[in-house]
Amino acid sequence: MSDSGSLPPTGRPPEGPPPAGSPQPGDPRQGRPPQGGPTQGGPAQGGSAQGGAPKKGGPRKGLLVAGGALALAAVVAIAAVVVRGGGDEEKPAAKPPPPPSAQPEAAANAAPGSQNLSASDGLRKPVTYDDKISVRVSDIRYVRNKVDGPGQIQGRVLTIFTLAFTNGSAKPLDLNQVRVVARYGPKKTEARPTSYADLNDFYGTVPPGKDRKASYAFDIPPNGYKSVAIGVKFDAQHKVALFAGALRP
């Protein structure tokens, strides 16, 4: 028989309050591992998943490399814009050659090797309009062509007519639309226009009180000289100036 100070039966915990620091029933700390310690089977706090220490400076080094690449790309882009901009600078336009009418009139009507032709009065008589603009055939020559090229046939006899406009009106005379047609023979065959030497068409305008000359070469066979006609048209307000007659060497 035991007294009041004897131990309880084996297997039963002693009755009384639990030790200090022990979780009470219902305490949320029950089943939680101690703070600061590793979880069961997991890595320690602050360590890597593989158990090694974290690499120092890894992410920061990648950011520096990426930033350097972006800066280099920006420099290359700016340099390309500067170079391209320099190539687009406007260059001074080349000075255009003078218009055909700007050369001396003697050169514009020169026909080396040509000889004069005699003409009947019908080819020499001027045509004068009501506004005092007049057109005339001032010179007629012929030459045997010695050059074979565009608009020219070697050995052909070319007939050259020099025409002259006199502007007796009070306004500038526009000669940019002058058209000259030559016909010959009984059938009034249209002669083929040709180029020879430095002969030039009419060009530009003639101031009031001034005149202008230009020469036109046509392929007219000598057997067609008995009947030759020249028609000159220079605008829509004036009728065609007609000159007709015969030629002889």
* Mean pLDDT on 150-169: 86
In tens, the pLDDT along 198-234 reads: 788 999 999 999 999 999 999 999 999 999 999 999 9
pLDDT of residue 94: 53
3 state DSSP class of 247: strand
pLDDT of residue 112: 82
pLDDT of residue 50: 46
d(CA 229, CA 42): 119
d(CA 127, CA 239): 10
Residue 109 has pLDDT above 70, yes or no: yes
pLDDT of residue 23: 52
d(CA 33, CA 31): 6
> Is there a domain that residue 7 lies in?
no
pLDDT of residue 91: 54
* Mean pLDDT on 154-182: 94
DSSP codes of every residue in 144-211: E----BTTB-TT-EEEEEEEEEEE-SSSPEE-TT-EEEEEETTTTEEPEEE--TT-----SEE-TT-E
Residue 55 has pLDDT above 90, yes or no: no
d(CA 69, CA 1): 92
> Is there a domain that residue 5 lies in?
no
* Mean pLDDT on 101-110: 70
Q: How confident is the model at residue 149 (pLDDT cuts 50, 70, 90)?
A: low
Residue 160 has pLDDT above 80, yes or no: yes
In tens, the pLDDT along 69-80 reads: 555 565 555 555
Question: Which of 64-68, 151-155, 169-173, 233-237 is predicted least confidently?
Answer: 64-68
| H or E element at residue 92 | none
Residue 33 has pLDDT above 60, yes or no: no
d(CA 175, CA 46): 99
> Is there a domain that residue 128 lies in?
yes
Pairing mode of beta strands 118-119, 173-174: unpaired
> Is there a domain that residue 40 lies in?
no
pTM for the model stands at 0.58
Q: How many domains does the chain have?
A: 1
Q: How many CB atoms lie within 10 A of CB 81?
A: 10
pLDDT of residue 77: 56
pLDDT of residue 12: 52
> Is there a domain that residue 29 lies in?
no
> Is there a domain that residue 36 lies in?
no
d(CA 152, CA 74): 64
Report the half-sphere exposure of 148 (CA within 13 A, side-chain side). Answer: 2
* Mean pLDDT on 21-49: 48
d(CA 119, CA 109): 19
> Is there a domain that residue 227 lies in?
yes
pLDDT of residue 25: 53
| Residue 173 or residue 64, greater confidence | 173
> Is there a domain that residue 38 lies in?
no
| Residue 149 or residue 130, greater confidence | 130
pLDDT of residue 196: 80
| Residue 20 or residue 229, greater confidence | 229
Residue 34 has pLDDT above 90, yes or no: no
Q: CATH code at 176? A: 2.60.40.4170
Block residue for tokens 């009755």: 15
Which domain range does residue 175 map to? 101-248
